[in-house]
């Protein structure tokens, strides 16, 4: 079995995001960047499947600017065998990423494609679903448990009502939830070894994909500041404020 894992470079989740003064976007200069957290879960699950003997090769792929290659290097240090970097400058939307991944899938012929359930920067939650539609493959989104069988996967999904267990045929698209596993840290020896693993670089233009954004971002603003709360002396005062001021009872 061959697994393709898609990873994305985003602003680190510990960083306080700041809006640019001209409201054209968020500040990314001199800001710590890292792998999208659910993508780390996708890499970890692929490595676990390989360690169990059910996969022979893991290929990590990222789509983005030159520095995005860092996310592939991290995946290689964790256990991926080789990497692919599709170079695109500027903003790239989920549909364009899906079309690029479709081209790579046609070339690499993987049995499974893993990726995070959504990216923490745009929060779109679209790429996996779009890729499944383009390939006409079955999909299992928000996966919190994966069991590999002969030619199928049993996947437990996080849904609004709780958990849902489905079975999908291989090949398939899997988007991974944070509760799927606990991503490991890359050890220093593995980080050094990862520097010798190959990363193929491809220009998106060479794939014949139009990466021009379909959505115009007009303005970015911070959410309004929350007002400070107040303390009440007793339950009676609380009820009065809820009734007369908040008017919720």
Q: What is the pLDDT along the chain (249 residues), one digit of tens a residue?
A: 999 999 999 999 999 888 998 988 888 888 899 999 999 999 999 999 999 999 999 999 999 999 999 999 999 999 999 999 999 988 899 999 999 999 999 999 999 999 999 999 989 999 999 999 999 999 999 999 999 998 899 999 999 889 999 999 999 999 999 999 999 998 899 999 998 999 999 999 899 888 988 888 899 888 888 888 888 999 999 999 899 888 888
Please list, in sequence order, all residues whose beta carbon lies within 8 angstroms of the beta carbon of residue 6, skipping any fewer than 6 positions away.
39, 42, 60, 61, 62, 63, 97, 101, 113, 114, 115, 127
| CB count in 10 Å sphere of residue 158 | 17
| Pair 38, 45: CB distance under 8 Å | no
Q: What is the pLDDT of residue 199?
A: 95
Residue carrying the six token digits 């990497």: 83
Helix (H) or strand (E) holding 5: strand 2-6
Q: What is the gyration radius of the CA atoms in the chain, in angstroms?
A: 21
User: What's the N-to-C CA distance of the chain in angstroms?
Assistant: 59
Q: What is the pLDDT of residue 137?
A: 97
Q: What is the pLDDT of residue 147?
A: 94
| Pair 44, 6: CB distance under 8 Å | no
- Structural domains for the chain: 2-244 (3.40.50.620)
Q: What is the pLDDT of residue 90?
A: 84
Q: What is the pLDDT of residue 230?
A: 85
| CB count in 10 Å sphere of residue 30 | 5
Quote the DSSP letter at residue 179. G
CA distances from 68 to 58, 73, 170, 204, 242 (A): 18, 9, 29, 14, 50
* Helix intervals (H) in 57-93: 69-78
| Pair 40, 117: CB distance under 8 Å | no
Distance CA 164, CA 176 (A): 14
- Which two tokens mark 180? 């799927």
| Pair 85, 69: CB distance under 8 Å | yes
Backbone angles phi, psi at 124, to 5 degrees: -75, -40
Q: How many residues would you count in the chain?
A: 249
CA distances from 24 to 9, 11, 98, 227 (A): 20, 17, 25, 26
Q: What is the pLDDT of residue 249?
A: 82
């Amino acid at each position: 079995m061959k697994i393709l894992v898609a990873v994305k470079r985003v602003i680190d989740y510990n960083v306080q995001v700041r809006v640019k003064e001209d409201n054209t976007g968020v500040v990314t200069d001199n800001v710590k960047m890292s792998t999208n957290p659910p993508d780390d879960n996708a890499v970890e699950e692929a490595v676990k499947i390989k360690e169990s003997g059910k996969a022979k090769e893991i290929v990590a792929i990222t789509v983005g600017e030159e520095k995005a290659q860092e996310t592939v290097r991290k995946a290689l240090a964790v256990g991926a065998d080789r990497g692919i970097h599709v170079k695109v400058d500027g903003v790239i939307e989920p549909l364009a990423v899906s079309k690029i991944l479709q081209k790579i899938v046609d070339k690499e012929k993987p049995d499974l494609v893993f990726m995070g359930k959504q990216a923490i920067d745009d929060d779109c939650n679209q790429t996996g679903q779009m890729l499944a539609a383009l390939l006409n493959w079955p999909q299992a989104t928000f996966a919190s448990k994966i069991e590999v069988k002969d030619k199928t996967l049993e996947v437990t999904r996080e849904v609004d009502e709780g958990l849902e267990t489905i079975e999908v045929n291989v090949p398939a698209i899997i988007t991974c939830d944070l509760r799927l596993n606990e991503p490991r840290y890359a050890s220093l020896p593995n980080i050094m070894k990862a520097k010798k693993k190959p990363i193929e670089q491809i220009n998106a233009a060479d794939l014949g994909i139009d990466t021009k954004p379909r959505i115009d971002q007009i303005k970015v603003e911070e959410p309004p500041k929350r007002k400070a709360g107040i303390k009440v002396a007793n339950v009676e005062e609380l009820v009065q404020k809820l009734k007369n001021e908040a008017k919720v009872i």
